[in-house]
Chain A
């Protein structure tokens, strides 16, 4: 065998200087040549560790081999056996913690860029213009309602329609896709990618009803009279605030509001769109995850001179995807680690103007295994700001649980569901994704959807 190729191929990107003033996707994606070169580095391990790292068990060496041989249709077919949203996952999975973290080449510092190859395979399929519709199972006559059109709901709908059931998705907003549509910004996940996936499952026969809030427009109990089974994939949409003084001043947002204005309501096109946005000059984003990175980078693109990430732990504990952190640094986001906001002050007309913070130090590891941040006495200092965004997490949306007393929920407000099957305490009701786990990842939501679909199918065929 030839010598190991340890040259992990970079994906061409827009340069930081240019991209920080537009909303186009940061990465261009691999060319065929780059993809084949990267794929050719894979050792085609007999016992591929990488697969263990993927929550949906994609046959990774299998699809990579197809790319090596320039069989791009074959590659996407292998991926789609397990993952119906490769264009999304290839872009947003935290690969360095999942598939790539298990690749044998990690020890040499050059794991195979599995995510980038997955993304490439998905784009090649689109480039063929008309992608083939797979053969569906014959109709079973069973009807399924899916609540929420995020990755969990899309997965359940896609799997069950293939198995011959009739599927209807109910979505509260006017556009489908969940966080993929209203949360993750255009420059990281172009909306056309999400729309393509939604169109695909609709072409398979899934019915999509938007502008429909289950629990308000119709109750879950009523849905159960009309459908044989129901899946709840309503996500974690209730924003947390810091609960510090001044958070209701003007110029203060939840990450959900900030990103929804930009994405779902197309605020970045304002004043050519209808939903107004404010262009802040110095904005502080509180938090250290993907959501915080997305807000900070969005703010830069809207013309902020200074966009800060204020995080109470240190760089080592940042929960964001590595690639997004690096992108944020390149674009000029300013990081204030070990810093905790404690109070906001406003000008006379109620606009935020200053943020008071405390310096922190790291103590012993806490329940999450990360070192606990401890405030340093008398370390208070202030930062002048004109915008403030809280991106410290979301709780599950209580709308359905609060109107469905039969549905068991945990103290945290998540729906209690069996992790292997997605079954809830309510007969004929399954749940999965962020509504069960609390805010997590796209691929975990999809994984939960897969398991629920399997269990629902089993039930439907028996009854």
Chain B
């Protein structure tokens, strides 16, 4: 069993979950994920890791309530125990000294990009961070991200904070601010990942996206997480989750993510994603 150290709603519908898992905490690297189950017989759900503390032996995730399983997770209290936390899974994000790196986060990705930025900074990169949300009340961790970034740009759809707009105003911002990154890293919902990949491909730099297809085991056993990248089938849980967004077959990924939509609807349905999930 794994103890819940902290469970807190940080903004409406987004929850922070810190779990005691010393072995996992000792191994995890930026860009990796874990699989959790909230109770016996629960679905296995993959969550990116947003932070960890190797000394305390804890890992922290930020998740959005989108269906029955995440709703159950949201009901956890400090001191509860969950039966599964397994990881670290997937390959870590490749982090070297690239020069200038633009990091884009939306939704839970505002959290999961934080350790990526932290390590990029350690390696001597200059970081330009872009955060996107529907409205100011959905923003979090801006100070943490801001401290590590040379610049931080915030986009909200209702203009309640930062730039009013949508992720499609990225190119405009970049021109205005004369940002010429050597690499782009994007974490968040599939819409954000695909839109950034489409809009920024003309820059001719790698666009690293952290994909989030449906998964079960997370160890390469079932194949449900397969995605087509550069014409080849890849298993996101072991070959990814990071891929170059310019090479991902987005149409297929969107379709595959919807496979269980009707069935999930039988369970419960709530809320949409900050990134404007179609």
Contact = CB atoms under 8 A, between A and B. Distances in A.
B240 interface: no
Given A174-B86, A216-B27, A257-B216, A397 B233 contact: no
A51 interface: no
Contact of A265 (B68, B86, B216, B219): B216
Interface string A182-226: 000000000000000000000000000011110011100000000
Given A248-B228, A257-B222, A350 B255 contact: yes
Interface stretch (A157-165, A236-244, A283-291): A236-244
B23 A217 contact: yes
A397 B221 contact: yes
Nearest to B1: A211
Given A250-B256, A266-B41, A274-B41, A397 B220 contact: yes
Nearest to A254: B223
Contact of A253 (B44, B224, B252): B224
Contacts of A238: 220-221
B93 interface: no
Given A213-B86, A216-B87, A239 B27 contact: no
The bracket for how many chain B residues form the interface is 35 or more
The bracket for how many chain A residues form the interface is 35 or more
B260 interface: yes
Interface in A273-325: 273-278
Contact of B41 (A172, A239, A250, A273): A273
A277 B259 CA distance: 10
Interface in B230-278: 233, 238, 251-252, 255-256, 258-260, 263-264, 266-267
Given A211-B84, A349-B255, A399-B219, A274 B226 contact: no
Interface in A118-164: none
Given A248-B256, A276-B260, A276-B264, A265 B44 contact: yes
Contacts of B69: 274
Contact of B221 (A248, A251, A260, A349): A260
A381 interface: no
Contact of B259 (A174, A211, A247, A250): A250
Interface string A233-271: 000011101000001111101101100110001100011
Contact of B223 (A173, A241, A251): A241
A277 B224 CA distance: 12
B68 A399 contact: no
A205 to B, nearest CB: 21
A271 B259 CA distance: 16
A398 interface: yes
A257 B37 contact: no
B83 interface: yes
A273 B258 CA distance: 19
A173 B256 contact: no
B31 interface: no
Given A217-B24, A350-B252, A276 B263 contact: yes
Contacts of B42: 274
Nearest to B32: A216
Contacts of A270: 263
B88 interface: yes
B191 to A, nearest CB: 17
Interface in B20-66: 23-24, 27, 37, 41-44
A237 B220 contact: yes
Nearest to A249: B255
A399 B238 contact: yes
A273 B87 CA distance: 24
A237 B237 CA distance: 14
Interface in A310-350: 349-350
B85 interface: yes
A217 B28 CA distance: 9
A278 B37 CA distance: 21
B3 interface: no
A407 B7 CA distance: 42
A172 B219 contact: yes
A237 B85 contact: no
Contacts of B233: 241, 247-248
Contact of B88 (A216, A241, A273, A275): A216
Nearest to A261: B216
A260 B217 contact: yes
Contacts of A349: 255, 258
B238 to A, nearest CB: 7
Contacts of B86: 172, 174, 211-213, 217
B83 A174 contact: yes
A273 B216 CA distance: 14
A31 B161 CA distance: 75
A391 B86 CA distance: 27
A212 B35 CA distance: 11
A248 B224 CA distance: 9
A399 B256 CA distance: 25
Interface in A390-414: 397-399
A237 B85 CA distance: 21
B263 A278 contact: yes
Contacts of A217: 23-24, 27, 86-88
Nearest to A256: B222
Interface in B191-218: 216-217
B89 interface: yes
Q: List 3 tightest A-B contacts by C-beta distance, closest first.
A: A350-B255, A276-B263, A257-B222
5 contacts: A174-B86, A237-B221, A256-B221, A274-B72, A349-B255
Interface of A: 172-174, 210-213, 216-218, 237-239, 241, 247-251, 253-254, 256-257, 260-261, 265-266, 270-271, 273-278, 349-350, 397-399
Given A173-B217, A253-B224, 4 more contacts: A238-B221, A274-B69, A274-B267, A350-B251
